[in-house]
Copies of this chain bind each other. A is one copy, B any other.
Amino acid sequence: MKRVTIYDVAKEANVSLATVSRVINGSDVVKLQTKQRVDEAIKKLGYKPNAIAQGLALQKTTTIGLVIPEASFTYTGMIINGLLDVAKIYGYNIILHTITEGISDVDMIVDVVIKSRVDGAIIYTDKITEESMAMLNDYNIPIVVIGNRVSAQSICSVYVDFEKAIYELCSEYLDKGIEDIAILEDRKNENSTNDLHNGAIRAFKDKGKEFNGFISIPKEERSSYRFLKKYFVEHRHQLIVVNRDSQAMATINAARENGILIPEDMQLVCVIDTKYNSMVRPQISAFTIPSYDLGAVSMRLMTKMLQSEGVEDKEKCLNYLFTARETTY
């Protein structure tokens, strides 16, 4: 089926293509009668404007590039949902890019993102380096970074302050006299791990104590579970903080298999909440990240940047919420 162009419509409606263009774009200077003729022609021919050609002519594509870590959909899913919903409202398309570890890949993304001439990019990854960011910034394309607090000329960010969250959590437990607190490394999320660690350090320091409950998982270990199963043979904690749901489950299983009762012997807090946390037994206490909002706000921010409405605040901090379930008391 031959694609019907604006020209075909013009001929059918007996007007010039300029007029058709006006009708398409809702220009109000067209006489109602002509508009109707054009509308009919469009319908009859089943004409759909070629977004590519529009993109070329307008120098914008109404699509934005989304960059996420590969294979991360379980925890980025909600973010993407939020993003898509807002994108849909504003009529933006999303081009999906995943990023693998290793710098070279980042360059590839920058390459693709630039070539595809998206109007903007939303990036969610710990692994992107400052250089790549600078590169992107050079191209002067609006960027929203999710998860890290950064900003620059054309870069905004939306994040949740976990350092603060953990700070408050630790402070509270310290006040209750619970001092043997451990934080489990999440090798897949360096930055968040650092945030957690720093929050704990600060909380302990403020009470005149020193935090040294950071559990790092040796490189050679294939999974948190395998590691923890051995770890718990000799180690105990009163409270353990982990990053993702899968780590939480791994912790529960490993602890249980070593005779550690949760929450009686050890309490557990998962930082990133997902629906699975409340599906498993015991239900896992967690910080609810407003994932959906994280995506929605990012996209909203993006639209603002694109319309160069003044973006008053380039760094948006969203609030977390602690949901106590069965792994704490």
- A contact set with B: CB distance below 8 Å: 1, 48-53, 55-56, 61, 63, 66, 70-71, 73-74, 76-78, 80-81, 84-85, 88, 93-98, 111-112, 114-117, 138-140, 246, 249-250, 253, 256, 275-276, 279-281
Q: List 21 A-B contacts (CB under 8 A).
A: A1-B139, A48-B111, A49-B115, A50-B117, A51-B115, A51-B116, A51-B117, A52-B116, A53-B56, A63-B95, A63-B116, A66-B96, A70-B81, A71-B78, A73-B76, A74-B275, A93-B96, A93-B97, A246-B279, A276-B279, A281-B281
Within 8 Å CB of A253, what residues of B? 279, 281
Within 8 Å CB of A1, what residues of B? 138-140
Residue of B50, B112, B116, B117 near A115 (CB, 8 A) is B50
A74, B71: Cβ atoms under 8 Å?
no
Residue of B55, B84, B97, B280 near A70 (CB, 8 A) is B84
Give Cα distance in the complex from A94 to B85, angstroms: 18
Within 8 Å CB of A88, what residues of B? 98
Within 8 Å CB of A77, what residues of B? 71, 73-74, 77
Within 8 Å CB of A49, what residues of B? 115
Number of copies: 2
Q: Which residue of B lies closest to A112 (CB)?
A: B93
Give Cα distance in the complex from A103 to B299, angstroms: 26
A61, B52: Cβ atoms under 8 Å?
yes
Give Cα distance in the complex from A74 to B80, angstroms: 11
Apart from A52-B56, A71-B77, A96-B96, what are 12 other A-B pairs with CB-CB below 8 Å? A1-B138, A48-B111, A51-B115, A51-B116, A51-B117, A70-B84, A73-B74, A94-B95, A94-B96, A249-B276, A280-B281, A281-B281
Give Cα distance in the complex from A84 to B109, angstroms: 13
Q: Which residue of B lies closest to A59 (CB)?
A: B3
Residue of B73, B138, B275 near A81 (CB, 8 A) is B73
Give Cα distance in the complex from A202 to B201, angstroms: 63
Give Cα distance in the complex from A93 to B66, angstroms: 11
Q: Which residue of B lies closest to A81 (CB)?
A: B71
Give Cα distance in the complex from A98 to B88, angstroms: 9
Give Cα distance in the complex from A55 to B246, angstroms: 42
Within 8 Å CB of A74, what residues of B? 73-74, 77, 275
Give Cα distance in the complex from A139 to B47, angstroms: 11
Give Cα distance in the complex from A94 to B66, angstroms: 10
Within 8 Å CB of A279, what residues of B? 246, 249-250, 253, 276, 280
B280, A249: Cβ atoms under 8 Å?
yes
A98, B115: Cβ atoms under 8 Å?
no
- Shortest CB distance A310–B (Å): 21
Within 8 Å CB of A78, what residues of B? 71, 73
- Shortest CB distance A100–B (Å): 9
